[in-house]
C-alpha cells in the first residue's frame, strides 16, 4: 500500500490531511490580505487545530484518565493550547499537522512491516484441487480439507497444503519457506509445504496438517509473538520514556516561570519564556527515541523470516549480535545425519566372483533389515544399478551383524570388531579395515561361504554447507565447537573435514549442558545449534538456541529461540551479520534522536528556534530513524 492510499484509508490520517489544507489556506490568507487576513487566518488555523487536534486530544485524555500517565500526546496538547493562548495560532496549527503527520508515518512503517509478514500467508492458495474417491478433482477451500485428504498440484501451481507426496515426481521451489535457492526434488514419501511452487511434474499430495496449522501459519504466528518480546535496550527505552515525559513537563514549567519571576524576563510573546517552554515540550517529545529500537528490530526479524529464519524475539536478535562462540551438535547438524557408503573394497581372491559381488550379497541380506547401515548398503547398490536377489534364512546376530543365504551361498555381514567371532580373516584385510577406521568410518565386512569378499567404509558425511559456514563465522571472530556423543576418532575426523575450532566428544546429554555452561564462562554469550529435539537441554542452556530443519519439525519450531526452516548452515553467518547490522542501526538511531534534541535545545536556549522549527526537528528525527530502521527489511 502506498503512503497516499494509507492516509486516505484511515479516519485520523484523513483528518490530518484536512488540517494541513486548512493550515495552508490560513497561511495564504494571512500573507495575501495583510489588512483583514489576520482574523480570517486565525479562524482557519483554529479550524485546523480542532480537526487535526481532535485525535491527539482524545489520546491525551486516555493517557491521563485511563493510564494515569503523561505521554507524548499530552505534551503536544499542552504545547498547542499554550501557543494558542499567547496568540501564535499559525504555529499551533503547524504543530498539530506536523505531529499528526509524524504519527501517521510511524503507523505506516508498522503496517508496511506487518504487511510483509502477512504477505507470507498469501503465498498459500486459498483453494486446492481435491482428489475425490471417484478419481475426479474439484476446487475446495483449504479450510475444508481434513488430514488424510488428497490434493492434486499441477506443474507451475503453488502447493496449497502441508502434506506428503503420494504419487508423482517433481522439483519444488521451497525458497518462500526455507530460503533454499535451488528447487528440491520430491518423490513419494517426501514432505511438501504450503506456499512452495511445483515447477515441473504433477504431484498427488496427502494432507498432513490443517490449513490453520500449516508451516506458513506457524511462521507468521511465531514472528508476531516474537515482536512482543522486547530486547533489553527496548525495555530500557520504554522505562526511560515513562520517567522522561513527566520530568520534561516539570522542567518546562520551571523554564516558563522561574526566569520571569526571579530575573524579570518576559513571560508572553514570541521571545517570552512561555514560548521557550512550549518549544521545549515539543522538542522533548520522545517519538524518535521510542520508535528507534522497535522499527529496527521488527524490520530485521521480518527480513530473516522472508529468508527462512525465524527469530523469536528482539532479545535473541540482540544476543546474536554479541555471540562469541557457537556450539554445534554433530549428527544431523554438521553432518547429513544418515550413514552412506564411502568405500567399497573388493578383497575376494577366488577369481570367480563378478565385480561388486560383495555389495550384491550384502544388499540381498540387508534388504530384510531396518538398520541405518543396512539402508546405506541398499542405497549404494541401487546407485550402482546392482540387481539384488532375494535372501533366505536371514538371522540377526545379537546386534552384531546379520547372516543369510543368497543363491545357495552362506553370507555373513558384521562390523570389523565382531567379525572374528564368525569368520577369521587375513591380516591384510585387517590392515585395510584399520585404515578406514582411522578415518572415522564404520567398517563392515561381508563373507561369502568361507571367504571375506569385500569390506565397506560407512560414514555420516558432512553437510556441503558446513565448512563454508564455519569459515564465515570464524571470519566474524566467533569460536566454533563441536559437542557430540560420538567417539573421538569419528568426531575429530568430521571436525577436521569441516574446519571446526574445537571438538569435545563422548558427551552424554547432561555433559553437553555442562559444556555449554563452561563455554559461557569463557566466551560470555554462546549460541547452540542442533535439531531442536535431542539437543533440547543444551539449546535451553545456551543464550541463543538455534534449531535446524524447522519446516518439517513442529517441535523444533516450539523449543528453539531461532529456527532455520531449512538445513542450510549458510544461514548462520547471515543472521549473525543481520543481528550486528540491527544493533548498529539501533545505536545510530538512538544517538541521532538524542543528538537532534540536544542541538535544538541549544537553539531554544539561545532564543533562535520557533515552535514550528521544534516540531519539524522532532518529526524529521522520527522519520529519519524510521527510514534507517526499515532499511533492515532488505
The residues carrying an active-site annotation are: 329
Distance between CA 538 and CA 511 in Å, rounded? 9
For the record, the C-alpha cell of 26 comes out as 490560513
d(CA 131, CA 169): 17
Give the contacts of 76 (CB within 8 A, at least 6 positions apart): 56, 60, 95, 96, 99, 281, 282, 285
How many helices (DSSP H) and strands (DSSP E) are in the chain? 22, 22
Integer angstrom CA distances of residue 436 from 377, 440, 441, 457, 583: 16, 7, 6, 6, 48
Pairing relationship of beta strands 392-396 and 170-173 according to DSSP bridges = unpaired
In whole angstroms, give the CA distance from residue 292 to residue 585: 9
Beta-sheet strands, E only, within 104-178: 127-131, 137-141, 150-153, 163-167, 170-173
Please name which of 188, 195, 132 lies closest in space to residue 165, comparing C-alpha atoms.
188
For residues 544 and 549, give the distance between their C-alpha atoms in angstroms, rounded to a whole number: 16
Cβ neighbourhood burial of 157 (10 Å; 0-12, 13-18, 19+): middle
| 3-class SS of residue 158 | strand
Instruction: Decide: 607 and 276 in contact? Cβ < 8 Å.
Output: yes
Using CB atoms within 10 A of its CB, is residue 64 exposed (0-12), middle (13-18) or buried (19+)? Answer: middle
DSSP H helical ranges for 264-371: 273-284, 287-306, 314-321, 357-366
Buried b (16+ CB within 10 A) or exposed e, 290-303: bbbbbbbbbbbbbb
Cell of 362: 550384502
Q: What would the grid cell of residue 323 be?
A: 555471540
Amino acid at each position: 500500500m502506498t503512503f497516499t492510499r494509507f492516509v486516505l484509508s484511515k479516519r485520523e490520517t484523513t483528518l490530518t490531511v484536512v488540517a494541513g489544507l486548512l493550515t495552508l489556506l490560513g497561511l495564504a490568507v494571512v500573507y495575501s490580505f495583510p489588512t483583514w487576513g489576520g482574523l480570517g487566518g486565525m479562524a482557519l488555523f483554529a479550524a485546523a487545530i480542532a480537526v487535526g487536534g481532535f485525535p491527539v486530544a482524545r489520546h491525551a485524555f486516555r493517557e491521563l484518565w485511563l493510564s494515569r500517565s503523561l505521554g507524548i500526546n499530552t505534551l503536544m496538547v499542552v504545547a498547542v493550547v499554550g501557543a494558542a493562548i499567547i496568540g501564535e495560532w499559525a504555529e499551533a496549527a503547524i504543530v498539530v499537522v506536523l505531529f499528526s503527520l509524524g504519527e501517521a508515518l510511524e503507523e505506516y512503517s508498522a503496517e508496511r512491516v506487518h504487511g510483509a509478514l502477512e504477505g507470507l500467508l498469501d503465498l498459500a492458495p486459498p483453494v486446492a484441487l481435491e482428489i475425490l474417491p471417484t478419481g475426479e478433482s474439484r476446487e475446495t477451500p483449504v479450510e475444508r480439507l481434513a488430514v488424510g485428504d488428497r490434493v492434486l498440484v499441477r506443474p507451475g501451481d503453488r502447493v496449497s497444503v502441508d502434506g506428503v507426496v503420494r504419487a508423482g515426481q517433481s522439483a519444488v521451489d521451497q525458497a518462500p519457506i526455507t530460503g533454499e535457492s535451488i528447487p528440491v526434488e520430491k518423490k513419494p514419501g517426501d514432505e511438501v509445504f504450503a506456499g512452495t511452487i511445483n515447477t515441473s511434474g504433477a504431484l498427488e499430495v496427502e494432507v498432513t496438517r490443517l490449513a490453520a496449522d500449516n508451516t506458513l501459519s506457524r511462521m507468521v504466528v511465531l514472528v508476531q509473538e516474537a515482536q512482543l518480546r522486547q530486547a533489553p535496550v527496548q525495555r530500557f527505552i520504554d522505562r526511560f520514556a515513562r520517567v522522561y515525559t513527566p520530568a520534561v513537563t516539570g522542567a518546562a514549567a520551571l523554564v516558563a516561570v522561574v526566569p520571569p519571576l526571579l530575573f524579570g524576563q518576559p513571560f508572553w510573546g514570541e521571545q517570552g519564556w512561555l514560548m521557550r517552554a512550549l518549544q521545549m515540550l515539543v522538542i522533548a517529545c520522545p517519538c524518535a527515541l521510542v520508535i528507534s529500537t522497535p522499527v529496527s528490530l521488527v524490520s530485521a526479524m521480518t527480513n530473516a523470516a522472508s529468508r527462512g529464519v525465524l527469530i523469536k524475539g528482539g532479545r535473541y536478535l540482540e544476543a546474536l549480535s554479541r555471540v562469541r562462540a557457537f556450539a554445534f551438535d554433530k549428527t544431523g547438524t554438521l553432518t547429513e545425519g544418515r550413514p552412506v557408503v564411502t568405500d567399497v573394497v573388493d578383497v575376494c581372491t577366488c577369481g570367480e566372483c563378478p565385480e561388486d559381488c560383495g555389495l550384491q550379497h550384502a544388499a540381498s541380506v540387508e534388504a530384510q533389515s531396518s538398520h541405518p547401515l543396512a539402508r546405506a548398503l541398499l542405497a549404494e547398490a541401487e546407485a550402482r544399478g546392482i540387481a539384488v536377489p532375494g535372501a533366505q534364512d536371514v538371522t540377526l546376530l545379537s546386534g552384531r551383524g546379520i547372516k543369510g543365504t543368497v543363491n545357495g551361498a552362506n553370507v555373513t555381514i558384521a562390523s570389523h570388531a565382531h567379525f572374528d567371532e564368525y569368520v577369521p580373516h587375513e591380516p591384510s584385510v585387517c590392515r585395510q579395515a584399520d585404515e578406514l577406521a582411522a578415518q572415522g568410518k564404520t567398517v563392515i565386512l561381508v563373507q561369502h561361504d568361507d571367504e571375506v569378499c569385500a569390506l565397506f567404509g560407512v560414514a555420516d558425511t558432512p553437510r556441503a554447507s558446513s565448512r563454508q559456514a564455519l569459515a564465515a563465522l570464524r571470519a566474524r571472530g566467533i569460536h566454533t565447537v563441536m559437542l557430540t556423543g560420538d567417539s573421538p576418532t569419528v568426531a575429530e575426523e568430521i571436525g577436521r573435514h569441516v574446519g571446526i575450532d574445537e571438538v569435545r566428544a563422548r558427551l552424554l546429554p547432561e555433559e553437553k549442558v555442562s559444556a555449554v555452561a563452561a563455554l559461557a564462562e569463557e566466551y560470555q554469550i554462546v549460541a547452540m545449534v542442533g535439531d531442536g529435539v535431542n539437543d533440547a537441554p543444551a539449546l535451553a542452556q545456551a543464550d541463543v538456541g538455534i534449531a535446524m530443519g524447522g519446516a518439517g519439525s513442529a517441535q523444533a519450531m516450539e523449543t528453539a529461540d531461532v529456527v532455520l526452516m531449512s538445513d542450510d548452515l549458510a544461514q548462520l553467518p547471515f543472521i549473525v551479520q543481520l543481528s550486528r547490522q540491527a544493533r548498529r542501526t539501533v545505536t545510530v538511531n538512538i544517538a541521532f534522536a538524542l543528538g537532534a534534541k540536544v542541538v535544538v535545545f541549544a537553539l531554544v536556549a539561545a532564543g533562535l528556534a520557533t515552535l514550528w522549527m521544534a516540531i519539524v526537528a522532532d518529526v524529521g528525527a522520527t522519520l529519519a530513524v524510521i527510514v534507517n530502521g526499515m532499511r533492515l527489511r532488505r
